[in-house]
Amino acid sequence: MVSKTTWIVADTHLTRDPEGTLFGVVVRIQAERARSFLEANARKGDSLVLLGDISNDDSQESYRCAESLFGSIVSDIELVPGNHDGQLFETLQFFRPCPRSRPGPNGWQFHFLDSRGDGEEGRLSRRTLSYLGEAIPADTKHNHAIFFHHDCLQPFPAGRIGLVEGGNELVELVLSRSTSRFAIFCAHRHQSFAFGLGNITFHSVGAVSCQFEFDGEIPQLSSPAIEISEVRFLDGHISVHRHRIDQ
């Protein structure tokens, strides 16, 4: 079977200001580069996940910009809010409330969560965790991919604010469903890494706006390259290809 590809775009941080920058990088130009890449590489039937911090300032203009850039590349678009996405996030054309679930390719089940808490901090609420407990029953026959914006685990050196509250309960839940495989996708760090633990693989996807490094908790620019993840959900495992596009 030909597997359909899921593309993950995170942290575009678009602003109402065409010259809006993040650490000196013009975010709209970065988003346009991401669009060009996807236009050249995405195929009919693929899906696109915008994994939070779509906007930087929650402005109507920033969301209209995101729609015009990414809204017509594929017809299957999923939105997940980040800490920079506020009330106007709900005006996006493809908005549907989180948490929600849907079937993915090859027997995978997809779950999209809202991990927003106070300010930059992330939180998986009681309601979200109990939703997930029901969406992933103990006798689940599926493998599961879970998408939310904030960090679930942190590599050393840690320090980035945003390690999600409730993340330990989430890990406990998925470890208890030991007959299934889980892939957890987060963003927010503007850094990409992946590792496995038991039946789980964790993936932090890089950002479209710019990549960070950390001096303690303070993010600094490490690279103006853009990163986009290409994920294929196969029979019992996944393949992830990180596309890093330098200027």
Site for Fe ion, rule CB under 5 A = 11, 53, 82-83, 188
The residue (of 133 and 224) whose beta carbon lies closer to Fe ion is 224
Tokens 């939703």 sit on residue: 131
Assign 3-class secondary structure to 18-38: CCCEECCEEHHHHHHHHHHHH
- Provide, rounded to whole angstroms, the least separation between the CB of residue 5 and Fe ion: 24
Smaller CB distance to Fe ion: residue 82 or 105?
82
Q: What angle do CA 40, 46, 50 make, to 5 degrees?
A: 85
Least Å from the CB of residue 10 to Fe ion = 7
Q: How far is the CB of 137 from Fe ion (least distance, A)?
A: 31
Alpha helices in the chain (DSSP H): 27-41, 60-70, 126-135, 167-176
> Please, is 43 exposed, middle or buried when counting C-beta atoms within 10 Å of its C-beta (0-12, 13-18, 19+)?
exposed
Shortest distance in whole angstroms from residue 64 CB to Fe ion: 20
Rounded distance between C-alpha atoms, residue 158 and residue 242, angstroms: 21
- Residue 172's nearest CA partner among 162, 182, 160 is 182
User: For residues 12 and 128, which CB has a smaller minimum distance to Fe ion in the complex?
Assistant: 12
Task: Output 5 or 128, the one with its CB closest to Fe ion.
Answer: 128
For Fe ion, give the closer residue by CB, 180 or 229. Answer: 229
Backbone phi, psi, residue 23, to 5°: 50, 40
> Residue 188 CB, nearest distance to Fe ion (Å)?
4
Nearest approach in angstroms of CB 164 to Fe ion is: 11
Report the nearest approach of Fe ion to the CB of residue 84 (Å): 6
Of 113 and 136, which CB lies nearer to Fe ion in the complex structure? 113
Label residue 125 exposed, middle or buried (CB < 10 Å: 0-12, 13-18, 19+). Answer: middle
Answer yes or no: are the C-beta atoms of 136 and 174 closer than 8 Å. yes
Measured CA to CA in angstroms, residue 211 lies from 7, 20, 245 at distances of 18, 16, 11
Angle between helices 126-135 and 167-176 (to 10 degrees): 10
Looking at the Cβ atoms of 11 and 58, the one nearer to Fe ion is 11
